[in-house]
Amino acid sequence: MAALMHNTDLTAKQDCILEPLCFPEHLCGSAPLASSSDGHPVTCSLCSDSFPASEKDQLLKHMVLDHKLVIADVKLIADFPQYMLYWKKRFTEQPITDFCSVIKTNSEGPVEQQEHYFLLCDALPEDRILREQLQQRRLEGVLDQQQKERDDTTFHQACMFCNEEFTGNSIGLPDNIVYCNEFLDTLECKLENMQCLYCEKTFRDKTTLKDHMRKKQHRRINARNHEYDRFYVINYLELGKTWEEVQSEDDRELFEDEDDDWSDWQAHPVYAVCLFCEQQAETMEKIYTHMEETREFDLHKLKTDLSLKFYQQVKLVNYIRRELHQCRCYCCQEKFETKEELVQHLVNTGHVMQLPEISHWDQPQYYFPTYENDALLTAVGHSEVPVIAEDISNLKVIQQTSVLNKLLKDRAAVKDSN
């Protein structure tokens, strides 16, 4: 048995899926980012007047009306208060005309009606370097904050969907998330106000809201809502670029010649996909029936017989998905050349409803979906079978044996060796 488990561990390492797969899609005004000076008053670069950080527009209006100074692309400045302090110092050292372009208004009118405005922009090398330095400094601060959150053992939060409590470093290691406590509080506030996280519609009570989010596959946030931008590291990576621009850079040439007319576009419904074949259905009931009739696989029965808790159900589905993707029997671990051969083996040997020891698949790595758009996962915990919340009483052991923890140690060892 020990030898079998050893071989299984080796195979798991070799076949490790490092990021979620995805079923084909046919199956299924930005908020300011965080800066180091948030909350502090901002002082005008040309006088002693100061304004709250939340009233940046009033400060810009003051500089235009009182000092005739215009700052270009303000929204691209990573740390506006520090930017203003820098130029306040420089304007005391040299005339403003040494740094700014001079724009004369009403140049053909009477002299008394002409005015001179000063434009400060990144065409000036010094200004460009300053903006890049502020961007780099902000990114470093965000990464430091992210590392603090990863190392934080005082975390305590209840799941906003099932009220299960988590303590210690239980948020996982999401590489793209920062300010996670504030992020979770923001989402929880929306749910407390009966607001859907995705479409942001408001409902009369929590039961109606939960049913809506489950049926519409809305248990996710709306990527178009820029309120969430500050919680994603990708938005801090490049000066003046949002996550959409960063992600689409490599694809722009592909879409240059495409027709921009979207008038006939229609959204495709999200389908649940069978564990054993490519059969798909619009409802969970239909896909459950299909698996029972064609493969004699009864997920509800497994839940009941094994008394599976909520997260164990998630892990089981992800485990079976992964083994089938790798053409390996989830019962005996025998490998096959094709998925069709594997499915035939499961039927012939009666392994369809047989599982290995629960400790084999009840592992932290199966918290994460094998297919990120797996609609079958959205039905977990919403059947007539009672669901018991995950037992996290031995959280320390879970963290110590986590596959993520091992990946981090391996990465650290590689860095040390270099």
The CA distance from 328 to 339, in Å, is 8
Which pLDDT does position 11 carry in this prediction?
40
- Measure Cα distances from 119 to 77, 127, 190, 239, 272 in Å: 15, 12, 42, 20, 57
84-98, 336-350, 384-398: least confident range: 384-398
Q: What integer is the mean pLDDT of 369-381?
A: 76
The CA distance from 63 to 45, in Å, is 8
Which pLDDT does position 264 carry in this prediction?
54
Which pLDDT does position 51 carry in this prediction?
92
Which pLDDT does position 319 carry in this prediction?
92
Residue 179: band (very low, low, confident or very high) from pLDDT cuts 50, 70, 90: confident
Q: What integer is the mean pLDDT of 356-366?
A: 86
- Measure Cα distances from 13 to 10, 326, 367, 373 in Å: 5, 12, 17, 24
pLDDT tens-place string over residues 309-344: 888 888 899 999 999 999 999 999 999 999 999 999
Is the model's pLDDT at 150 over the cut of 70? yes
How many of the other CB atoms lie within 10 Å of CB of 307?
Answer: 10
The mean predicted confidence, pLDDT, of the chain is 77
Q: What integer is the mean pLDDT of 35-61?
A: 83
Which pLDDT does position 211 carry in this prediction?
86
Which pair of tokens denotes residue 245?
Answer: 């621009």
- Ordered by start, the domain boundaries in the chain are 41-129, 152-249, 272-380
Tell me, what amino acid is at 379?
Answer: A
Is the model's pLDDT at 32 over the cut of 50? yes
Which pLDDT does position 7 carry in this prediction?
40
Q: What is the pTM of this model?
A: 0.47
Which pLDDT does position 397 carry in this prediction?
56
Residue 10: band (very low, low, confident or very high) from pLDDT cuts 50, 70, 90: very low
Q: What integer is the mean pLDDT of 23-31?
A: 47
Residue scoring higher pLDDT (38 or 140): 140
Which pLDDT does position 141 carry in this prediction?
87
Is the model's pLDDT at 169 over the cut of 80? no
30-39, 131-140, 320-329: least confident range: 30-39
Report the share of the chain in percent with pLDDT over 90. 24
Is the model's pLDDT at 55 over the cut of 50? yes
Residue scoring higher pLDDT (10 or 403): 403
Residue 370: band (very low, low, confident or very high) from pLDDT cuts 50, 70, 90: confident
- Strand-pairing partners, residue 371, are 21
Residue 416: band (very low, low, confident or very high) from pLDDT cuts 50, 70, 90: low
